[in-house]
């Protein structure tokens, strides 16, 4: 009799935890450190939202040489970045990458955020918060 109660309790506990997990929105961090991958960013965000719904939380972290491709003069990437930002997806740039690549912050595409922490540390922190990591 006690084993039946324990079994029922475990089943109820498992069911409750599954309901809680199902009610939380999916969280995704897209990591870009290759400037050639920026062009894929807009479509990737669209596809994730299309497949998983509008409530998916998406963050983008850019570091390495990829930050050099985010200047206002790069019209192709300006379009991509603006489309991502319009979908309410924040894009953070590693402050170390910006400084190490001598990127003039005034020449960056509007709407980009310079992170207070290293880009890799930011990615790690998002993962600790339950974000699923996708390398672009």
Determine the pLDDT at residue 19.
Answer: 45
Q: Residue ranges per domain, the chain?
A: 25-135
For residue range 79-120, list pLDDT tens digits in order: 999 999 999 999 999 999 999 999 999 999 999 999 999 999
Name the DSSP letter for residue 114.
E
For residue range 57-84, list pLDDT tens digits in order: 999 999 999 999 999 999 999 999 999 9
Find, among 73, 62, 122, the residue nearest to 98 by Cα. 62
Q: Are 38 and 70 in contact (CB under 8 A)?
A: yes
Name the DSSP letter for residue 24.
S
Q: Which CATH class is domain 25-135?
A: alpha beta
Categorize the per-residue pLDDT at 16 as very low, low, confident or very high, splitting at 50, 70 and 90: very low
């Amino acid at each position: 009799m006690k084993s039946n109660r324990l079994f029922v309790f475990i089943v109820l506990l498992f069911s409750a935890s599954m309901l809680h997990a199902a009610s939380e929105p999916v969280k995704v961090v897209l990591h870009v450190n290759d400037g050639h991958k920026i062009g894929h960013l807009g479509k990737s965000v669209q596809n994730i939202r299309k497949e998983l719904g509008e409530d998916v939380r998406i963050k983008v972290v850019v570091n390495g040489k990829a930050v050099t491709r985010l200047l206002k003069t790069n019209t192709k990437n300006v379009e991509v970045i603006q489309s991502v930002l319009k979908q309410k997806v924040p894009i953070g740039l590693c402050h170390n990458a910006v400084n190490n690549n001598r990127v003039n912050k005034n020449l960056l595409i509007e709407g980009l955020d310079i992170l207070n922490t290293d880009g890799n540390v930011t990615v790690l922190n998002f993962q600790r918060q339950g974000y699923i990591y996708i390398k672009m």
